[in-house]
Amino acid sequence: MTSLWNKLAHRLRQARHQRRQRKLPEIIWLHLVASLEESGRGVTSRPNLYQVVLPTEDYTLLQPNMKDLTKKLAHRLAAEAHQRGYSVSGQVGVDIVPDKVDSVLVKAVYKTESSSDSQADTTIVFHLPRKKQKSPLPPSRSLAVLSGPDRGSIFTLWGEKTLVGRSGTNHVILHDEGVSRVHLAISWSEDQESIEDLESLNGTWVNGRRLQGKMRLNVGDKIKLGSTTLEYRG
């Protein structure tokens, strides 16, 4: 009986780790975009080197594909900076390292390239793309917390996708035990916002109706998860 229980527990851990492994790249990307937006010098200048600090367990999950992941993230971030009209101080690089932290941290650094500069093996460097057709950026939107442990908080939504949940790796972090670690996603596409429950334990309700799959989100909609109520304010 003990052996059967151990096997079941092992399979559950494996499934949880696989789900986490799939979600981590997008979580890291959201933090990189936030750092790009928030750590600028002046109006349009932005750092070119970004160090992502992960909890050791998360780093271990990504380690087998780390080189390819950092390459893709750096290339994507360079394109994002170009699309947003930012000037970057040098070549764009992303480095991912483990540490004793509880959530994802990003450290942005300005660095000018020279012949004597050397990059760590895990830092992948790219030039900004010279030509890229610009697409409209999402407008400023926000979520207001009407009830729950974080009542009174207002979260600004940036980028095309925002993750909401209890884990410190989300963009919108809720200190509510009834909320799953990564509970839901809010996405901007084709000039409209949508909301999707990410297989949360207790579910998500929009204006009193349980959310099934993905649906459009309108200004004034009330989102219920755990004991928390959010209002989408566009």
Q: What is the CATH number of the domain that holds 207?
A: 2.60.200.20
Q: Are residues 27 and 83 in the same domain?
A: yes
Q: What is the mean pLDDT of residues 131-157?
A: 79
Q: Tell me, yes or no, whether 20 and 95 share the same domain.
A: yes
For residue 173, give the nearest of 101, 216, 228, 212 by alpha carbon. 228
Q: How would residue 43 be classed by pLDDT, with cut points 50, 70 and 90?
A: low
> Which residue range(s) make up the domain with 155?
142-233
Q: Which two tokens stand for residue 2?
A: 């003990």
197 close to 203: Cβ distance less than 8 angstroms: yes
pTM: 0.53
Chain centroid to CA 171: how far? 6
Q: Is residue 114 part of a domain?
A: no
Same domain, 146 and 90: no
**Average pLDDT of span 182-198:** 92
What CATH number is associated with residue 71?
Answer: 3.30.2320.60
Average pLDDT taken over every residue of the chain: 83
Q: Which has more pLDDT, 3 or 105? A: 105
Q: Is residue 41 part of a domain?
A: yes
Taking the alpha carbons of 180, 26, 141, 45 in that order, is the dihedral positive or negative? positive
Bridge partners (DSSP) of residue 41 are 45
Comparing 9-13, 129-133, 174-178, 196-200, the range with the smallest average pLDDT is: 129-133
The verdict on residue 119 lying in a domain is no
Q: Give counts: helices (H), strands (E), the chain.
A: 3, 17
Q: How many residues does the chain have?
A: 234
What is the number of domains present in the chain? 2
